[in-house]
Copies of this chain bind each other. A is one copy, B any other.
Amino acid sequence: MTARPRVGAIEAGGTKMVCGVGRTLEELLDPSSQAVVPTGPDPRATWAEVRDFFVGAGPVDALGVASFGPLDLDAGTIVSTPKAGWDGFSWRERARELTGGPLVLDSDVDAAALAEWHHGAARGAAVAVYVTVGTGIGGGCVLDGRVLRGRRHPEMGHLRLRRRPGDEAASTCPYHDDCWEGLASGEAMRRRHGSRAEELPADHPGWAVEADYLGLGVADLLVTLAPDRLVLGGGVLAHPGLLEDVRRHAGAHLNGYAGLGRTGEGGTGPLDDLVVAPGLGSRAGLVGAFELAVRGLDGSPPTG
Protein backbone atom coordinates (compact mmCIF):
# COMPACT_ATOMS: atom_id res chain seq x y z
CA MET A 1 0.00 0.00 0.00
CA THR A 2 1.43 3.34 -1.04
CA ALA A 3 1.29 6.43 1.12
CA ARG A 4 -1.59 8.78 0.60
CA PRO A 5 -0.60 11.75 -1.51
CA ARG A 6 -0.03 15.09 0.13
CA VAL A 7 -2.00 17.87 -1.52
CA GLY A 8 -2.16 21.63 -1.35
CA ALA A 9 -5.41 23.58 -1.23
CA ILE A 10 -6.12 27.26 -1.77
CA GLU A 11 -9.42 28.99 -1.15
CA ALA A 12 -8.89 32.22 -3.05
CA GLY A 13 -11.41 34.87 -2.09
CA GLY A 14 -11.62 38.53 -2.90
CA THR A 15 -10.31 39.56 0.50
CA LYS A 16 -8.12 36.64 1.61
CA MET A 17 -6.50 33.43 0.47
CA VAL A 18 -6.73 30.49 2.82
CA CYS A 19 -3.96 27.99 2.14
CA GLY A 20 -3.56 24.50 3.54
CA VAL A 21 -1.73 21.20 3.07
CA GLY A 22 -2.51 17.68 4.15
CA ARG A 23 -2.80 14.01 3.31
CA THR A 24 -6.18 13.85 4.97
CA LEU A 25 -9.00 16.25 5.69
CA GLU A 26 -8.09 16.16 9.37
CA GLU A 27 -4.52 17.22 8.61
CA LEU A 28 -5.75 19.98 6.32
CA LEU A 29 -8.13 21.38 8.92
CA ASP A 30 -5.47 21.51 11.60
CA PRO A 31 -4.66 25.23 11.98
CA SER A 32 -0.94 24.46 11.99
CA SER A 33 -1.34 23.26 8.38
CA GLN A 34 -2.86 26.54 7.25
CA ALA A 35 -2.02 30.14 6.46
CA VAL A 36 -4.16 33.12 5.59
CA VAL A 37 -2.84 35.70 3.13
CA PRO A 38 -4.70 38.94 2.40
CA THR A 39 -5.67 39.27 -1.27
CA GLY A 40 -3.92 42.52 -2.09
CA PRO A 41 -4.13 44.71 -5.17
CA ASP A 42 -0.80 43.34 -6.48
CA PRO A 43 -1.12 39.65 -7.41
CA ARG A 44 2.67 39.23 -7.45
CA ALA A 45 3.00 40.31 -3.84
CA THR A 46 0.05 38.18 -2.75
CA TRP A 47 1.37 35.18 -4.63
CA ALA A 48 4.84 35.58 -3.09
CA GLU A 49 3.30 35.14 0.34
CA VAL A 50 1.22 32.17 -0.76
CA ARG A 51 4.27 30.54 -2.34
CA ASP A 52 6.34 31.15 0.79
CA PHE A 53 3.79 29.25 2.84
CA PHE A 54 3.80 26.27 0.50
CA VAL A 55 7.60 26.22 0.18
CA GLY A 56 7.81 26.15 3.94
CA ALA A 57 5.16 23.46 4.19
CA GLY A 58 7.01 21.10 1.85
CA PRO A 59 6.24 19.48 -1.50
CA VAL A 60 2.71 18.60 -2.61
CA ASP A 61 1.58 16.08 -5.20
CA ALA A 62 -1.28 18.20 -6.52
CA LEU A 63 -2.89 21.58 -6.00
CA GLY A 64 -6.60 22.31 -5.72
CA VAL A 65 -7.77 25.90 -6.07
CA ALA A 66 -11.24 27.24 -5.26
CA SER A 67 -11.04 30.72 -6.72
CA PHE A 68 -13.05 33.86 -7.07
CA GLY A 69 -13.71 34.66 -10.73
CA PRO A 70 -14.91 34.77 -13.34
CA LEU A 71 -12.59 31.96 -14.41
CA ASP A 72 -11.50 30.59 -17.75
CA LEU A 73 -11.22 26.99 -16.65
CA ASP A 74 -9.64 25.78 -19.87
CA ALA A 75 -6.86 28.34 -19.60
CA GLY A 76 -6.66 28.15 -15.81
CA THR A 77 -6.94 31.91 -15.41
CA ILE A 78 -8.99 34.60 -13.74
CA VAL A 79 -10.67 36.69 -16.44
CA SER A 80 -12.63 39.95 -16.69
CA THR A 81 -12.71 40.30 -12.94
CA PRO A 82 -13.73 43.61 -11.47
CA LYS A 83 -11.02 43.05 -8.83
CA ALA A 84 -8.27 45.49 -9.78
CA GLY A 85 -4.99 43.92 -10.87
CA TRP A 86 -6.17 40.32 -11.03
CA ASP A 87 -7.50 40.18 -14.59
CA GLY A 88 -5.54 37.49 -16.42
CA PHE A 89 -3.93 35.97 -13.30
CA SER A 90 -2.87 32.45 -14.27
CA TRP A 91 -3.36 29.77 -11.64
CA ARG A 92 -1.92 27.26 -14.08
CA GLU A 93 1.39 29.09 -14.38
CA ARG A 94 1.63 29.78 -10.67
CA ALA A 95 0.80 26.17 -9.77
CA ARG A 96 3.92 25.03 -11.66
CA GLU A 97 6.00 26.84 -9.05
CA LEU A 98 4.54 24.60 -6.35
CA THR A 99 4.11 21.14 -7.83
CA GLY A 100 4.86 18.94 -10.80
CA GLY A 101 1.47 17.35 -10.21
CA PRO A 102 -1.91 18.42 -11.45
CA LEU A 103 -3.70 21.70 -10.76
CA VAL A 104 -7.46 21.33 -10.42
CA LEU A 105 -9.17 24.70 -10.49
CA ASP A 106 -12.82 25.54 -9.98
CA SER A 107 -14.92 28.41 -8.74
CA ASP A 108 -15.23 29.00 -5.02
CA VAL A 109 -18.95 28.20 -5.25
CA ASP A 110 -18.52 24.95 -7.18
CA ALA A 111 -15.80 23.87 -4.77
CA ALA A 112 -18.02 24.59 -1.79
CA ALA A 113 -20.82 22.58 -3.42
CA LEU A 114 -18.40 19.69 -3.86
CA ALA A 115 -17.26 19.96 -0.26
CA GLU A 116 -20.83 19.93 1.03
CA TRP A 117 -21.50 16.85 -1.11
CA HIS A 118 -18.44 14.97 0.16
CA HIS A 119 -18.44 15.99 3.81
CA GLY A 120 -21.30 18.36 4.60
CA ALA A 121 -25.04 18.75 4.45
CA ALA A 122 -25.46 17.30 0.94
CA ARG A 123 -23.82 13.92 1.54
CA GLY A 124 -25.47 11.19 -0.49
CA ALA A 125 -27.54 13.52 -2.65
CA ALA A 126 -27.88 12.48 -6.28
CA VAL A 127 -28.34 16.14 -7.18
CA ALA A 128 -26.91 18.66 -4.72
CA VAL A 129 -27.32 22.40 -5.16
CA TYR A 130 -25.31 24.87 -3.09
CA VAL A 131 -26.30 28.54 -3.00
CA THR A 132 -24.40 31.23 -1.16
CA VAL A 133 -25.99 34.59 -0.37
CA GLY A 134 -23.30 37.07 0.52
CA THR A 135 -22.24 40.23 -1.27
CA GLY A 136 -23.57 38.50 -4.38
CA ILE A 137 -25.55 35.31 -4.98
CA GLY A 138 -23.84 32.29 -6.50
CA GLY A 139 -24.79 28.69 -6.94
CA GLY A 140 -23.22 25.40 -7.92
CA CYS A 141 -24.56 21.93 -8.56
CA VAL A 142 -22.97 18.53 -7.96
CA LEU A 143 -24.33 15.38 -9.60
CA ASP A 144 -23.12 12.12 -8.13
CA GLY A 145 -19.86 13.82 -7.24
CA ARG A 146 -19.33 15.72 -10.48
CA VAL A 147 -19.66 19.47 -10.83
CA LEU A 148 -22.35 20.56 -13.30
CA ARG A 149 -20.74 22.31 -16.21
CA GLY A 150 -21.91 22.65 -19.78
CA ARG A 151 -21.02 25.70 -21.81
CA ARG A 152 -19.74 27.22 -18.55
CA HIS A 153 -20.62 27.04 -14.89
CA PRO A 154 -24.13 28.02 -13.77
CA GLU A 155 -24.89 31.63 -12.91
CA MET A 156 -27.84 31.04 -10.64
CA GLY A 157 -27.69 34.54 -9.20
CA HIS A 158 -28.93 35.82 -12.54
CA LEU A 159 -32.27 34.07 -12.49
CA ARG A 160 -34.88 36.69 -13.32
CA LEU A 161 -37.53 37.14 -10.64
CA ARG A 162 -40.82 38.95 -10.67
CA ARG A 163 -40.54 41.92 -8.34
CA ARG A 164 -42.84 42.20 -5.34
CA PRO A 165 -45.71 44.59 -6.01
CA GLY A 166 -44.50 48.12 -5.37
CA ASP A 167 -40.83 47.19 -5.04
CA GLU A 168 -38.94 49.86 -6.95
CA ALA A 169 -35.54 49.48 -5.30
CA ALA A 170 -32.67 49.72 -7.78
CA SER A 171 -31.12 46.41 -8.79
CA THR A 172 -27.45 46.05 -7.91
CA CYS A 173 -26.83 43.98 -11.06
CA PRO A 174 -25.39 45.96 -13.97
CA TYR A 175 -27.04 43.57 -16.43
CA HIS A 176 -30.50 42.87 -15.03
CA ASP A 177 -33.11 45.05 -13.41
CA ASP A 178 -34.71 42.12 -11.65
CA CYS A 179 -32.35 39.21 -11.18
CA TRP A 180 -31.94 37.29 -7.94
CA GLU A 181 -28.58 38.80 -7.08
CA GLY A 182 -29.74 42.27 -8.07
CA LEU A 183 -32.73 42.09 -5.75
CA ALA A 184 -31.66 39.87 -2.86
CA SER A 185 -27.87 39.77 -2.40
CA GLY A 186 -26.26 41.29 0.66
CA GLU A 187 -25.29 44.26 -1.49
CA ALA A 188 -28.92 44.62 -2.62
CA MET A 189 -30.03 44.61 1.03
CA ARG A 190 -27.48 47.28 1.84
CA ARG A 191 -28.71 49.51 -0.99
CA ARG A 192 -32.34 48.83 -0.24
CA HIS A 193 -32.16 49.54 3.49
CA GLY A 194 -29.05 51.69 3.79
CA SER A 195 -27.54 49.22 6.21
CA ARG A 196 -25.50 46.05 5.89
CA ALA A 197 -27.45 42.83 6.46
CA GLU A 198 -25.60 42.02 9.68
CA GLU A 199 -26.53 45.44 11.06
CA LEU A 200 -30.19 45.36 10.07
CA PRO A 201 -32.39 45.00 13.19
CA ALA A 202 -33.92 41.55 13.65
CA ASP A 203 -37.44 42.99 13.51
CA HIS A 204 -36.82 45.08 10.37
CA PRO A 205 -39.45 44.45 7.66
CA GLY A 206 -36.60 44.04 5.17
CA TRP A 207 -36.08 40.48 6.44
CA ALA A 208 -39.53 39.46 5.19
CA VAL A 209 -38.72 40.92 1.77
CA GLU A 210 -35.44 39.03 1.76
CA ALA A 211 -37.08 35.73 2.75
CA ASP A 212 -39.64 36.17 -0.01
CA TYR A 213 -37.06 36.78 -2.76
CA LEU A 214 -34.79 34.01 -1.53
CA GLY A 215 -37.80 31.68 -1.37
CA LEU A 216 -38.79 32.53 -4.92
CA GLY A 217 -35.31 31.81 -6.27
CA VAL A 218 -35.13 28.58 -4.27
CA ALA A 219 -38.50 27.50 -5.70
CA ASP A 220 -37.19 28.12 -9.22
CA LEU A 221 -34.09 26.03 -8.54
CA LEU A 222 -36.19 23.21 -7.09
CA VAL A 223 -38.25 22.95 -10.29
CA THR A 224 -35.35 23.30 -12.74
CA LEU A 225 -32.62 21.23 -11.10
CA ALA A 226 -34.83 18.93 -9.02
CA PRO A 227 -32.18 18.56 -6.31
CA ASP A 228 -32.65 16.17 -3.44
CA ARG A 229 -30.69 18.62 -1.30
CA LEU A 230 -30.32 22.39 -1.61
CA VAL A 231 -27.77 23.88 0.78
CA LEU A 232 -28.33 27.57 1.46
CA GLY A 233 -25.42 29.43 3.01
CA GLY A 234 -23.47 32.66 2.97
CA GLY A 235 -23.25 35.60 5.33
CA VAL A 236 -26.83 36.79 4.91
CA LEU A 237 -28.14 33.40 6.07
CA ALA A 238 -26.49 33.94 9.44
CA HIS A 239 -29.63 35.89 10.37
CA PRO A 240 -31.54 33.73 12.89
CA GLY A 241 -34.76 32.31 11.48
CA LEU A 242 -34.08 33.36 7.90
CA LEU A 243 -33.58 29.81 6.61
CA GLU A 244 -36.91 28.73 8.10
CA ASP A 245 -38.63 31.76 6.55
CA VAL A 246 -37.06 31.02 3.17
CA ARG A 247 -38.42 27.47 3.32
CA ARG A 248 -41.86 28.82 4.18
CA HIS A 249 -41.83 31.30 1.30
CA ALA A 250 -40.44 28.74 -1.15
CA GLY A 251 -43.26 26.39 -0.14
CA ALA A 252 -45.82 29.13 -0.66
CA HIS A 253 -44.40 29.91 -4.11
CA LEU A 254 -44.50 26.23 -5.07
CA ASN A 255 -48.02 26.12 -3.66
CA GLY A 256 -48.17 22.38 -3.26
CA TYR A 257 -46.81 21.58 -6.70
CA ALA A 258 -45.02 18.24 -6.91
CA GLY A 259 -45.77 17.57 -3.29
CA LEU A 260 -43.74 20.62 -2.25
CA GLY A 261 -46.39 22.32 -0.24
CA ARG A 262 -46.86 24.99 2.30
CA THR A 263 -45.36 24.69 5.73
CA GLY A 264 -47.73 23.06 8.20
CA GLU A 265 -49.10 24.40 11.46
CA GLY A 266 -46.29 22.99 13.54
CA GLY A 267 -43.69 24.75 11.44
CA THR A 268 -42.55 21.54 9.82
CA GLY A 269 -42.96 20.98 6.14
CA PRO A 270 -41.82 19.07 3.07
CA LEU A 271 -38.90 21.44 2.53
CA ASP A 272 -37.27 20.85 5.94
CA ASP A 273 -35.03 18.06 4.63
CA LEU A 274 -34.69 19.55 1.17
CA VAL A 275 -33.50 23.12 1.89
CA VAL A 276 -30.83 23.00 4.59
CA ALA A 277 -28.01 24.93 6.23
CA PRO A 278 -24.39 24.15 5.27
CA GLY A 279 -22.59 21.46 7.21
CA LEU A 280 -19.10 22.92 6.80
CA GLY A 281 -19.68 26.61 7.37
CA SER A 282 -16.74 28.78 6.38
CA ARG A 283 -14.50 25.75 5.75
CA ALA A 284 -16.39 24.65 2.62
CA GLY A 285 -14.11 26.49 0.18
CA LEU A 286 -10.86 25.05 1.54
CA VAL A 287 -12.33 21.56 1.88
CA GLY A 288 -13.58 21.82 -1.70
CA ALA A 289 -10.11 22.82 -2.92
CA PHE A 290 -8.69 19.80 -1.09
CA GLU A 291 -11.20 17.47 -2.75
CA LEU A 292 -10.43 18.97 -6.16
CA ALA A 293 -6.78 18.08 -5.70
CA VAL A 294 -7.42 14.60 -4.29
CA ARG A 295 -9.81 13.70 -7.10
CA GLY A 296 -7.43 15.17 -9.66
CA LEU A 297 -4.77 12.69 -8.49
CA ASP A 298 -7.34 9.89 -8.67
CA GLY A 299 -7.56 10.60 -12.37
CA SER A 300 -11.21 11.49 -11.83
CA PRO A 301 -11.30 15.26 -11.48
CA PRO A 302 -14.87 16.26 -10.63
CA THR A 303 -14.84 19.16 -13.02
CA GLY A 304 -13.81 20.28 -16.49
Q: Which residues of A contact B (CB under 8 A)?
A: 125-128, 139, 143, 146, 148-163, 175-176, 178, 216, 219-221, 223-229, 253-258, 274
Contact of A225 among B224, B254, B274 (CB under 8 A): B224
Q: Are A150 and B175 in contact (CB under 8 A)?
A: no
User: Which residues does chain B contribute within 8 Å of A216, judged by CB atoms?
Assistant: 160
Given the known interface contacts A156-B224, A226-B154, the answer about A162 and B178 at a Cβ–Cβ threshold of 8 Å is yes
**How many copies of this kind of chain does the complex include?**
2
Contact of A256 among B157, B160, B175 (CB under 8 A): B175
Contact of A162 among B151, B163, B221, B274 (CB under 8 A): B163
- Given contacts A155-B258, A162-B163, A175-B255, 18 further A-B pairs with CB under 8 A are A126-B150, A127-B149, A143-B148, A148-B225, A150-B227, A150-B229, A151-B227, A151-B228, A151-B274, A152-B258, A156-B223, A156-B224, A158-B258, A159-B223, A160-B161, A160-B219, A160-B220, A176-B255
Q: Are B226 and A225 in contact (CB under 8 A)?
A: no
Q: Are A148 and B162 in contact (CB under 8 A)?
A: no
Q: Are B224 and A159 in contact (CB under 8 A)?
A: yes
User: Which residues does chain B contribute within 8 Å of A146, judged by CB atoms?
Assistant: 143
Q: How far is the CA of A257 from the CA of B219 in the complex (A)?
A: 23
User: Which residues does chain B contribute within 8 Å of A274, judged by CB atoms?
Assistant: 151
User: Which residues does chain B contribute within 8 Å of A127, judged by CB atoms?
Assistant: 148-151
Q: How far is the CA of A269 from the CA of B116 in the complex (A)?
A: 37
User: Which residues does chain B contribute within 8 Å of A159, judged by CB atoms?
Assistant: 220, 223-224
In this complex, the member of A125, A258, A274 whose beta carbon has the largest number of chain B beta carbons within 10 angstroms is A258
Q: How far is the CA of A1 from the CA of B181 in the complex (A)?
A: 57
Q: How far is the CA of A108 from the CA of B255 in the complex (A)?
A: 25
Q: Are A158 and B257 in contact (CB under 8 A)?
A: yes
Q: Are A150 and B223 in contact (CB under 8 A)?
A: no
Q: How far is the CA of A178 from the CA of B156 in the complex (A)?
A: 20
Q: How far is the CA of A220 from the CA of B255 in the complex (A)?
A: 20
Q: Are A150 and B220 in contact (CB under 8 A)?
A: no
User: Which residues does chain B contribute within 8 Å of A126, judged by CB atoms?
Assistant: 149-150
Q: How far is the CA of A155 from the CA of B176 in the complex (A)?
A: 25
Q: How far is the CA of A254 from the CA of B224 in the complex (A)?
A: 18
User: Which residues does chain B contribute within 8 Å of A228, judged by CB atoms?
Assistant: 150-151
Q: How far is the CA of A139 from the CA of B229 in the complex (A)?
A: 20
In this complex, the member of A162, A226, A227 whose beta carbon has the largest number of chain B beta carbons within 10 angstroms is A226
Query: What are 13 residue pairs bridging A and B, where the CB atoms are less than 8 Å apart in the complex?
Result: A139-B224, A143-B146, A143-B148, A148-B225, A154-B226, A158-B254, A160-B216, A160-B219, A160-B253, A161-B162, A176-B255, A220-B220, A224-B224
Q: Which 8 A-B pairs have the closest CB atoms?
A: A127-B150, A162-B162, A150-B228, A151-B228, A155-B223, A175-B257, A154-B226, A150-B227
CB distance from A82 to the nearest CB of B (A): 14
Q: How far is the CA of A221 from the CA of B195 in the complex (A)?
A: 33
